Structure 1
Amino acid sequence: MFASVWMRYTPKKTVGQIIASGNHYVIAVKANQPKLLAYLRTQFEQMPPLSVDIQTEQCRDRCTQRTVSILDTMAGIEPHWLGVQRMIRVERAGTRANQPLSETMFYLSSLAVDAADFAQLIRSRVAD
C-alpha cells in the first residue's frame, strides 16, 4: 500500500514536510515552474521511458486514451525537491462531445513505482 499525500500545487519547501511525515507525493508541474517544466519536456523528448502504460476509456460523449510514461533520471532536478524518484508524463488524447481533446501533464513523485501504478494513482485523484 502507498501512504501518499496528493497535492496539485505544492511549493518546494512543503516537500520536505511531506517526506519527514513518512508520506509520499505526486505533484503536478505547471507553468508556474517554467524551468522545471521545460526540463521535464526535454527529458521526455530525449530519453526512452522506463515504463509506459496506455489505457483507453469510452463513456457517454467522450473517448480518451491516456498514456503514462515515467523516467527515473533525476540529475537535473533541483535538490529542493526532496525525495523525488520519478518524472511522470500523462498524455490524454481523444474526443469530448465530438470535439478533439489533447493534453499533456507532467508530475514529480517520491514514489518509485511503474507507469501502471502512477496511472491508477493519478486517475483516482484527478477528474478529467
Structure 2
Amino acid sequence: MGCLTHSKKTVNAIVDSGNHYVLQVKANQQALFKYLQAYSCENAFEDIYQVTEQTHGRLTQWIIKVYKLENQSIQQQWKQLKSFILIQKQVTQKGKKHTQQAQKEHLTQSLSYRISDLWLSAKEFSEGIRKHWGIENRLHWVKDVNYQEDNNRIKHQNIAVNMAIFNAISLNYLRQNVNDSIKYAQIIFGQNFKELCSNIRT
C-alpha cells in the first residue's frame, strides 16, 4: 500500500470494478494501525489458523487471526470493509555449531495487519496471502535483487515500463532454459554469451 489517501482511492476503484481487496496496513498509517493493534489486544478473534514450515534449518510458524470490524468511522473511510487479519510470524533458525557447545537458536517475531472487504475463514485468508507472498518472492523480489529494479533511476514512464517487461521476459527465459536459480543462470550465460544469442535466435 502507498500513502493513505492513494490507498483509499485504490480501494474504491477495486470495489467499483467488482473485485475484492486484502491490503496490508503500514505503520505509517498511524491511526488505522494503532486502532487494529489495540483492538486485537482487547478483543477476541473470530477464527484462527496456524501454518508451520521447516526448510534449511529454519522453522517458520504463521498464526493467522481474523477479526470482525464493526467500527462505522473506519468503515466509512474504507469501502465495504468487513474484517481485518492479524498475522503473527515466528522464525526459529539454528545457528552454527561451536566446538563442545550446543547449537544455538535465533528467534525472530513479527506482526502485520491486513484489511479486507471479504469475510473468509482464517485458513482461506492464509492461503490467499501466502500465494501472494509466493508471487512477491518468485517475481518482484527476484527482479529487485537480480535486476536492481528498486534502484532504477529511469524517469520516462514508457522506458520504465519497457524495461520492466524486458526484465520479466528475460527472467522467464532463464528459468525455462537454464536453471530456476536466476543468479546461477546469469553466471552461466555471462560466461557463454554466444550460447545465449544462439538460443534467442532459435
User: Sequence identity of aligned pairs in percent?
Assistant: 29
Q: Distance in 2 between matches of 1:110 and 1:60?
A: 37
1:84 maps onto 2:81 in alignment: yes
Unaligned 5+ residue runs, structure 2?
96-105, 138-202
1:94 positional shift:
2.1
Contact 1:58–1:64 (Cα < 8 Å) also in 2: yes
TM-score computed with the length of structure 1 as normaliser: 0.86
1:78 positional shift:
4.7
Unaligned 5+ residue runs, structure 1?
1-7
What amino acid is aligned across from residue 55 of structure 2 in structure 1?
Answer: C
1:38 maps onto 2:45 in alignment: no
Q: CA RMSD in A?
A: 1.7
Aligned residues: 121
1:16 positional shift:
0.8
Q: Which residue of 1 aligns with 2:122?
A: 115
The higher relative CO (CA closer than 8 Å, separation ≥ 6) is in 1
Moved over 4 A (4+): none
TM-score computed with the length of structure 2 as normaliser: 0.56
Contact 1:86–1:109 (Cα < 8 Å) also in 2: yes
What amino acid is aligned across from residue 116 of structure 1 in structure 2?
Answer: K
Contact 2:69–2:81 (Cα < 8 Å) also in 1: no
Q: How does 1:1-128 map to 2 (within 5 A)?
A: 8-9=1-2, 11-75=7-71, 77-96=74-93, 98=95, 99-126=106-133
